[in-house]
């Protein structure tokens, strides 16, 4: 999907390399019937997959963005800073409140990095599972046992 010719054309229009009119002229001859359009819209959205099928997002998040790289570098830098300050404070017997602050900032930075990783780097994968029908047997009161203590 990343290397699609339409997406490439849209990127060129966004960057200003190609004008909007030239892009429209390039896409004039593209034909899409109503059946193809409906099939493309319905595919994967309204069709129920079989149980056990692994469904992947067609447009999965991407970790190759410069913003994601910068957040990762930012997180590594601050994690090293706070963890280094924590270990230095432990060695020099700092006050417990300052040590807990350094530990909290280390953990907070790691949590932010984990959230960014889960949201924008990790691909979307879904394993389809269906619930089984519930079966509740009828209770025969004659088969009950009476226990006495």
Q: What is the pLDDT of residues 82-130, one digit of tens each?
A: 999 999 999 999 999 999 999 999 999 999 999 998 888 876 666 666 6
Q: Which of 121, 21, 103 is nearest to 67 (CA)?
A: 121
Q: Model-level pTM?
A: 0.48
CB 90 within 8 A of CB 99: yes
Tens digits of per-residue pLDDT, 39-81?
Answer: 766 665 566 767 777 666 555 556 667 888 899 999 999 999 9
Number of CB atoms found within 10 A of residue 83's CB: 17
Residues 6+ apart with CB under 8 A from 86: 99, 102, 103, 106
Measured CA to CA, the distance from residue 30 to residue 9 in angstroms comes to 13
Domain regions of the chain by residue span: 50-127
């Amino acid at each position: 999907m990343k290397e699609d010719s339409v997406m490439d054309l849209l990127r060129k229009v966004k960057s200003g390399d190609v004008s909007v009119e030239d892009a429209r002229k390039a896409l004039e001859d593209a034909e899409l019937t109503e059946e193809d359009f409906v099939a493309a819209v319905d595919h994967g959205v309204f069709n129920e997959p079989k149980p056990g099928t692994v469904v992947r997002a067609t447009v999965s998040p991407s970790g190759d963005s410069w913003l994601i790289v910068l957040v990762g570098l930012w997180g590594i830098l601050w994690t090293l800073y706070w963890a280094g300050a924590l270990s230095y404070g432990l060695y020099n017997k700092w006050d417990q409140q300052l040590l807990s602050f350094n530990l909290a900032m280390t953990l907070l930075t790691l949590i932010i990095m984990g959230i960014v990783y889960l949201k924008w780097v990790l691909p979307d994968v879904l394993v389809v599972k269906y619930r089984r029908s519930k079966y509740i047997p009828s209770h025969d009161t004659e088969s009950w046992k009476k226990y006495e203590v």
